[in-house]
Amino acid sequence: MRVLCSECAWGAPVGALGVCARCGGILRPNYPDEAVTALAAIQPGPGIDRYRAVLPVSTPIPFLGEGDTPLIRSRKIGPALGLQNLFFKNEGRNPTGAFKDRAGALAAALALESGAGGVLTASSGNAASAISAYCAAAGLKCLILLEPGNPPAKLRQALATGARVVPVKGIFAHGPDALRELLLQVASQLNFYLAFVWAPINPYIVEGIKSFSYEFVARLGSAPDAVVAPVGGGDMFAAQWRGYLELKRAGVIAVPPRMLGAQSVSAPPLLEAFRAASARVPTLPYANSKISGINVPFTGDHALAAVRESGGAVVGVTDEEVFAMQSR
């Protein structure tokens, strides 16, 4: 494996955190041809360890039942929209109830491989639950920094699996650069592995999430025409695109899907960049969405790249529209 900048192709040391030291671009693991080609022979099933050849870790990945979640054909909404082949990927069937379990499993393995004394992250909820659970499975200490006022149910999950949770007022309010520096300093002081689930801070954990794409193709027998996903920081969105590019490189699919991102108009950094045809995603001075999982003022440039490379688009929706569709 090599670690290259996605913009200037500079080679960073394996294990380097943060962004490219030369141009500020997002770092990205790259795997040899034989590893990627092996995707064609891997059988689908639970656990992301089966994909270790195209993951940035050599030690076994802890398993709690993550992955291979149901892909369910829509019986009502799809036909109502004129779509006979609309599928929902039910990531709620992961151990702690969200796609972040794919990231949590890899984070624990990376921490073990680095010899760290524990794992540090900051989270609005789902990542905290996932990383805490997989740290418990791996016998690792876990420290979670979070904004006060997050959903109590998510906090309870992290506490129940042994994490130490420290509320930090305004932890996400000063922008991604300040957050990156804070987390790097705290992790260094504690000798903890920094497992923040966002590629501009940790470029490796996103790799666990791309297993979405492998499962889609294995279950459908082909690539979908389009993938629609909510976007906050952008890792889940960009990771899927990365997975489809690897499947194309392996000869499993011929054409990857268009990537369609959805953001709340109350927290729309990617939407604003797409509409303005910007080269980078700006950090907004606000994020006021009631949808806590995507209520962030910054999205990584890797999500914008996925939109453009795939010929996709970004749409904005109101919180009320989201809640109405959720109810429907």
Q: What is the pLDDT of residues 190-224, one digit of tens each?
A: 999 999 999 999 999 999 999 999 999 999 999 99
Residue 79 · residue 106 · CB < 8 Å: no
Q: State whether the Cα torsion 268-272-274-280 is positive or negative.
A: negative
Q: What is the pLDDT of residue 76?
A: 95
Q: What is the pLDDT of residue 153?
A: 74
Which of 281, 245, 279 lies closest to 261, judged by CA? 281
For 144, the token pair is: 């979670």
Which of 148, 190, 145, 149 lies closest to 164, judged by CA? 145
pLDDT (average), residues 281-298:
92
Q: How far apart are CA 272 and CA 239, in angstroms?
A: 21
Q: In this model, does residue 264 exceed pLDDT 90?
A: yes
Residues ≥6 apart with Cβ < 8 Å to 174: none
Q: Across-strand partners of 167?
A: 146
Q: What is the pLDDT of residue 44?
A: 84
Q: What is the pLDDT of residue 178?
A: 92
Specify the DSSP element, H or E, that contains 28: strand 27-30
Instruction: Give the number of other Cβ atoms within 10 Å of residue 211's Cβ.
Output: 26
pLDDT (average), residues 48-57:
97
Which of 236, 221, 264 lies closest to 87, judged by CA? 221
pLDDT (average), residues 40-54:
94
For 260, the token pair is: 């369609």
Q: What is the pLDDT of residue 147?
A: 82
What's the Rg (C-alpha) of the chain?
Answer: 19
Reported as half-sphere exposure (CB side, CA atoms, 13 A), residue 16 has a value of 19
Q: In this model, does residue 68 exceed pLDDT 90?
A: yes
**pLDDT tens track for 83-128:** 999 999 999 999 999 999 999 999 999 999 999 999 999 986 889 9
**pLDDT tens track for 139-186:** 999 999 988 877 777 788 899 999 999 989 888 888 899 999 999 999
Helix ranges (DSSP H) in the chain: 33-37, 77-80, 100-114, 126-138, 152-160, 176-190, 206-209, 211-220, 235-249, 269-276, 301-310, 319-327
Phi, psi of 238 (to 5 degrees): -70, -35
Phi, psi of 291 (to 5 degrees): -90, 95
Q: Following DSSP, what letter does each residue of 257-326 receive, concatenated?
A: PEEEEEEETTS-HHHHHHHHT-SSPPPPS----S-GGG--S---HHHHHHHHHHT-EEEEE-HHHHHHHH
Q: What is the pLDDT of residue 175?
A: 85
Burial 251-263 (b: 16+ CB within 10 A, else e): ebbeebbbbbbbb
Q: Across-strand partners of 2?
A: 30
Residue with tokens 């006979």: 84
Q: Whole-model pTM above 0.85?
A: yes
Reported as half-sphere exposure (CB side, CA atoms, 13 A), residue 268 has a value of 16
Query: Percentage of the chain with pLDDT > 70?
Result: 99
Q: In this model, does residue 257 exceed pLDDT 90?
A: yes
Banded pLDDT at 269 (limits 50, 70, 90): very high
User: What mean pLDDT value characterizes the chain?
Assistant: 95
